[in-house]
Amino acid sequence: MTTRTPDIDTSDLSSSDALEAARVCVWVWDADTRTLSIRASGASVLPEIEGDWQLKDLTKILDGLSGTALCNALEPDSPSDDEISVELGFAKGGTLRLLGARGSPKTARGLVFATGNSAVPAIEIDLEPVYQPIIRLRDGSIAGFEALARWRDPEGNLQPVSELSHLGNPLAGARLALNMLEGASTALARWHEKYESLNLFVQVNLTGADLFRGDVLERVSSIVQSELFPSNALRVELTEQMAFRDFDAGVAAAVALQASGVALVLDDFGSGYSSLAWLASIPAIGIKLDPQLTQLPVSPRTDSVLSGIARLARSLGMTITAEGIEDFDRVQFLRGIGCDYVQGFAYARPMSFDAATKFLGSQKQLEELKT
């Protein structure tokens, strides 16, 4: 029997390590000085374009078409917060892609990366996504799923990825990300085909290292462009760990990811890694309250903290998901403070694609009985 070696790293790389591993640079545009700053926070990974560029100097080394496209994207006739996505062709050959979005009329940021040179090795891992339902508190219906990675050990048992976190191979980590994106989008497409009216979403977990990989961003774009499901149905859960060492690079990567076409959700909110600066800087559509918060013993103090966070999220137009709900004791309170979704063993455990499809089928029947 051949034993497949699980070689996945779900622990996070620091931003700078990730930049080195991925041939990616951060870019920041300042409209006042008309400067495009392109930098790697570690070793020089795309040396040909690093530095502070005046737009006119940069366009000199680009081919004519991409020079014009870059100018139009950075200095549009009417500034908006639209995404910025430009293919940069160099006069002497080679292409890069610049992806990001405007933070204000005066600034924009994102990532620039080499395209079409996926270095992710075909590592053999028996990876199988499982799906945990995310339930709408309003009416108990299934709003979507979180896709969670499992691998099959040599005995044939499914294991969580946390069992593998001591192994440190960033390329294998990217393989995990690509497999999970693939699995989740296939599941999403099939569910949308079968149960279109449920308007489901699926949330995939990506690490900071994943975000700094051009091939992961490219894959996300092409999945979204395939239009197999509505554009907001594929979502990515991020933890602040990814911006731990280099906050600006983390924000630029999150902005670029969003520009590639997925909605972002801030995971593990309220645990050690989340901060208000992250909340203020990331264009996310929702937060997930960490079990550390939702499982705190009931007290007036805990209630104030939870309702304060919920108010803050709502004032930013973000949805709130309470995670780690193991019993129904707190559900009334969570509904009262404006939580939109709940996720936890009290409702459903992570399950295979087939089991999740059956689960959806029974929900659909219930709906039809009601109408």
Q: Where along the sequence are the contacts to Ca ion (CB under 5 A)?
A: 205, 237, 267-268
CA 213 to CA 333: how far, in whole Å? 41
Residues 195-214 that bind ligand C2E (CB under 6 A): 205, 207
The verdict on 259 binding ligand C2E (CB under 6 A) reads no
User: In 3D, which of 179, 172, 124, 171 has the Cα closest to residue 147?
Assistant: 179
Cα(181)–Cα(309) distance, integer angstroms: 30
Cα–Cα distances in Å, from 6 out to 13, 19, 34, 210, 350?
A: 18, 24, 48, 18, 21
From the list ligand C2E, Ca ion, none, pick the one residue 319 interacts with, judged by a Cβ distance below 5 to 8 Å according to partner type: none
Closest to Ca ion by CB, 86 vs 148, is 148
By beta-carbon proximity to ligand C2E, the closer residue of 31 and 355 is: 355
In the bound state with Ca ion, the residue whose beta carbon lies nearer, of 45 and 135, is 135
Q: Which residue is nearest to ligand C2E (CB)?
A: 344
Cα torsion 188, 194, 198, 202 to 10°: value is -10
Q: Are 231 and 272 in contact (CB under 8 A)?
A: no
For ligand C2E, the binding residue among 25, 84, 134, 180 (CB under 6 A) is 180
- Selection from ligand C2E, Ca ion, none that 160 binds (CB < 5 to 8 A by kind) is ligand C2E
Q: Does 149 bind ligand C2E (CB under 6 A)?
A: yes
Which residues pair with residue 84 across a beta bridge?
100
The DSSP letter of residue 351 is B
**Nearest residue (CB) to ligand C2E, 89 versus 324:** 324
Beta bridge partners of 235: 203, 263
Of the residues 75, 124, 326, 329, which one makes contact with ligand C2E according to CB under 6 A:
326
The site that binds ligand C2E (CB under 6 A) totals a number of residues, namely 22
Residue given tokens 């909605």 in the structure block:
263
**Contact residues for ligand C2E (CB under 6 A)?**
10, 132, 148-149, 160-162, 176, 180, 205, 207, 237, 267-268, 291, 324-326, 343-345, 350
